[in-house]
A and B are shown apart, each in its own frame.
Chain A
Amino acid sequence: MSASAKPLLQVQRLSAQFTRDAVVSQVVKGISFDIAAGEAVGFVGESGCGKSVTARAMMRLAPEGSSVELGGVVRFDGQDLLQLREADMCDIRGQRIAMVFQDPMTSLNPVLSVGAQIDDIMRRHTGVSRAQARRRTVELLGLVGIRDAARRSEDFPHQFSGGMRQRVLIAMAVSCQPDLLIADEPTTALDVTVQAQILRLLLRLRQELGMALMLITHDFGVIAGMVERVYVMLDGQIVEAGAVDDIFARPQHAYTRALLDAVPRLESAGRLMP
C-alpha cells in the first residue's frame, strides 16, 4: 500500500464532550479528517470552535481538572490512539506526535535550563546517553536558529525572549523527529515580525525532517503559503475542507468568507475611522 492510499493520521467521527458540574457540553461534534505523511494541513476557526480540543483529543491530553469523554477513532500509523494504554500513549507523545503551544512564555519549566529540558525528552524516548543527548540538543538549538547554541543550552528560560523561547519549544517538539507536529496557534503570542520567522522555521523544519504538520490558527493570513489543505472549523464541526488555493479563491461556506474578510489587507486599508 502506498503512502497516499493510507494516510498517516485518519480521524473518524472524533467527538469530545466535557462535563462540569453536571453540565455536558459537546465541544467537538464527530469530525473526520486525515493527514498524509509529510503533508501540511491547516485548521482554521474562531477561538472556542474546538480546534485546540481536537488536537488535544488526538494526543489524549485532557485539560487539567476537567473530565473529557472522547469518542470516535484516531487511527495513527495503524493503531487507534484512543484505545491505547496510557503508557503506550506516553511513548507516542513526543516521539511520534509532538506539539508546540501558543504561549512560549509559560510553556517551559522556569527552574531547568533549556538544554536539560530537551535532553530529557530524548533520553526518555531514545535512551541515548547524557552526552549524546546534549550533543543533539545543541545541534537542534542551532537548527532552530539559536546562535551560540552550546552556551545558550545552559541558559534558563527567563534568559530568552518570547520568539527565542518558541524556537526552543519547537526544538523540543522535533527533538525525536516526530512524524506529525501539531502547532497550536504557535505565533499568536508573538509580535508580527517574529511570527513570520517562526512560520518560516516551521516550514523549513517540516521539509528538512519530512514530518507532517497540523497548523492550528484563527488567522487565515498564517495559513497562506504554509499548508496544502485547510479545514475550517465552526462550533465543533468542520464546515469546509479543501486545498488551500481553492479555499482562498472560492470559499463555499459563508463562515469561511467571513474569516477571509477578517484578514487585514494592505490595498483595502482606507482611512481608519475613529
Chain B
Amino acid sequence: MAEARSIVDPALDTRPIAEAPPARKRRHLLLALGIAMLLAMLLVTALGPWIAPYDAIATSPDSLAGPSTQHWLGTDSIGRDVLSRLIIGGRTTLLITFVAVSLAVAAGLVLGLVSGYVGGLADELIMRGLDIVFAFPVFLLAIAVVAALGPTVPNLILTIAIVYTPIMARVVRAPVLSVKRWDHVEAARSVGVGELRIAIVHVLPMVMSPILVQTSLTLANTIFTVTALSFLGIGPPPPDPNWGGMLSEARQFMELAPLTVIGPAVAIVFATLTFIVLANGLRDLLDVAGH
C-alpha cells in the first residue's frame, strides 16, 4: 500500500504540554484550604470568651433543649449552652494539643539531630531509650502518668509530649543520616565550621520538610488522643468544658438530645481534618515523598 500513514499513534495525546499539569494548582488549593480551616479554628477559639453567647459553665433549668434561636445547638443535661461550651472547650483541647506537640517537636528535633548526626553510642542510647517509650500503648502510658500525677492540664500535656517524641525523633533522624554525608557538609567542615554549627546551619534546614509534614500529622493524631483521654475521664477535670469530656457527658442523653453529641463530634472531626488537609498540602508543596 503506497498510502502514507501517520506514524503517530492516533490514541496518543498530542495536546501541548503546557496544558497538562493542573496538579500543581490543586496542591496549593489543598494547602490553602488547610490554612483557611486552621485560621478559622484558631480565630473562633482565640475570640472564644467574646463570641460565646453564654457562660460555658453557667447552668439553667432549661436542660436538654433542642436547637432554638437562644441556644443554636441546644443545651446539655444541666442546661448549659452547647455552642458556648464547644467554643470554650476548643480552647482547652487545642491548647493542650499545640503545647504538647510543640514540646514533642522540640524534644524530637534535639534527640533526632543528636542521634543522627553524632551517631555511634549516642545514637544507640537515644534510639533504644525512645524505643522503650514507643513500646508502650499511648493510652496505657497516659493513664499511668495521669493516675500517678493527677489529671491536670500540665500532666496531660507532658504525657502526650512524651508519647509523641519518639516518632518526631525518628522522622528527624532518618534524613539527618543521609544529609550529614552530603558534600556541602564536608565542604563546611573543610573550612573550619564547628560541628554544632554544621548540625544547625547545614544539616537541620535540609530536613525541615518531613518534619513540617510530620508535625501536622501529629497534631491531627494528638487532637484525637486528647479528646479520647478526656472521653475516658482522664482529661482536664470538670466543669470546664473540653470536646472529649462533652462527648462523654452527652453520651447518656444521645437519644434525647442528639446535638449534644453531634456538636463536639463534628468539632473533633473538623480539627483532625484540618491538620490532615494541612499535612497533605504541605507534603505536596514540599514534595517530601518524591524528589
Contact B191 A121 (CB under 8 A): yes
CB distance from B43 to the nearest CB of A (A): 32
* Contact partner, B186, options A94, A101, A111, A175, Cβ 8 Å: A101
Interface residues of B in 164-210 (CB under 8 A from A): 180-194, 201-202, 205-206
Q: Does B119 belong to the interface (CB within 8 Å)? A: yes
Interface residues on A, range: 20 to 34
CB distance from B22 to the nearest CB of A (A): 26
Contact B184 A106 (CB under 8 A): yes
Contact B119 A65 (CB under 8 A): yes
A110 surroundings in chain B (CB, below 8 A): 184, 206
Contact B192 A92 (CB under 8 A): yes
A61 surroundings in chain B (CB, below 8 A): 186, 189-190
Contact B185 A108 (CB under 8 A): no
Contacts known (A106-B183, A110-B184, A111-B206); A124 close to B190, Cβ less than 8 A = no
Contacts known (A91-B192, A121-B193); A107 close to B206, Cβ less than 8 A = no
Q: Which residue of B lies closest to A173 (CB)?
A: B191
Contacts known (A64-B180, A64-B185, A65-B181); A109 close to B202, Cβ less than 8 A = yes
Q: Does A103 belong to the interface (CB within 8 Å)? A: yes
* Contact partner, A125, options B182, B188, B189, B192, Cβ 8 Å: B192
B182 surroundings in chain A (CB, below 8 A): 106
Interface residues of A in 36-65 (CB under 8 A from B): 59, 61, 63-65
- The dominant DSSP class at the A interface is loop
Q: Which residue of B lies closest to A178 (CB)?
A: B191
Q: How far is the CA of A91 from the CA of B189 in the complex (A)?
A: 11
Q: How far is the CA of A109 from the CA of B199 in the complex (A)?
A: 12
B192 surroundings in chain A (CB, below 8 A): 90-95, 121, 124-125
- The dominant DSSP class at the B interface is helix
Q: How far is the CA of A64 from the CA of B177 in the complex (A)?
A: 10
**Number of B residues contacting the other chain (C-beta, 8 Å)?**
20
CB distance from B175 to the nearest CB of A (A): 14
Q: How far is the CA of A124 from the CA of B196 in the complex (A)?
A: 13
Contact B194 A90 (CB under 8 A): yes
Q: How far is the CA of A175 from the CA of B190 in the complex (A)?
A: 13
Q: Does A98 belong to the interface (CB within 8 Å)? A: yes
Q: Does A238 belong to the interface (CB within 8 Å)? A: no
Contact B190 A98 (CB under 8 A): yes
Contact A169 B187 (CB under 8 A): yes
In the complex, which of the residues B180, B190, B191 has the most CB atoms of chain A within 10 Å of its own CB atom?
B191
Q: How far is the CA of A111 from the CA of B201 in the complex (A)?
A: 9
Q: How far is the CA of A106 from the CA of B186 in the complex (A)?
A: 10
* Contact partner, A124, options B181, B193, B202, Cβ 8 Å: B193
Contacts known (A109-B202, A112-B201); A59 close to B190, Cβ less than 8 A = yes
Contacts known (A65-B119, A111-B205, A111-B206); A101 close to B191, Cβ less than 8 A = no
Contact A93 B191 (CB under 8 A): yes
CB distance from B201 to the nearest CB of A (A): 7
Q: Which residue of B lies closest to A64 (CB)?
A: B181
CB distance from B210 to the nearest CB of A (A): 15
A175 surroundings in chain B (CB, below 8 A): 191
Q: How far is the CA of A90 from the CA of B189 in the complex (A)?
A: 8
Contact A172 B186 (CB under 8 A): no
Contacts known (A65-B119, A120-B193); A109 close to B188, Cβ less than 8 A = yes
CB distance from A146 to the nearest CB of B (A): 18
Q: How far is the CA of A90 from the CA of B198 in the complex (A)?
A: 12
A63 surroundings in chain B (CB, below 8 A): 181, 186
Q: How far is the CA of A109 from the CA of B197 in the complex (A)?
A: 13
CB distance from A57 to the nearest CB of B (A): 13
CB distance from B194 to the nearest CB of A (A): 6
Contact B180 A108 (CB under 8 A): no
Q: How far is the CA of A111 from the CA of B205 in the complex (A)?
A: 7
CB distance from B67 to the nearest CB of A (A): 52
Q: How far is the CA of A97 from the CA of B190 in the complex (A)?
A: 9
Q: Does A99 belong to the interface (CB within 8 Å)? A: yes
Interface residues of A in 108-137 (CB under 8 A from B): 108-112, 120-121, 124-125
Contact A64 B191 (CB under 8 A): no
B193 surroundings in chain A (CB, below 8 A): 90, 94, 120-121, 124
* Contact partner, B187, options A91, A92, A101, Cβ 8 Å: A101
Q: How far is the CA of A94 from the CA of B190 in the complex (A)?
A: 6
20 additional contacts, CB 8 Å, given A91-B192, A99-B190, A103-B183? A59-B190, A61-B186, A61-B190, A64-B185, A64-B186, A65-B119, A90-B192, A93-B191, A94-B191, A95-B192, A101-B190, A107-B184, A107-B186, A109-B184, A110-B184, A120-B193, A124-B192, A125-B192, A169-B187, A173-B191
A-B contact pairs, 12 of them (CB 8 A): A64-B186, A90-B192, A93-B191, A94-B192, A94-B193, A98-B190, A107-B187, A110-B184, A111-B205, A124-B193, A124-B194, A172-B187
4 closest residue pairs by CB, A with B? A94-B191, A94-B192, A93-B192, A106-B183
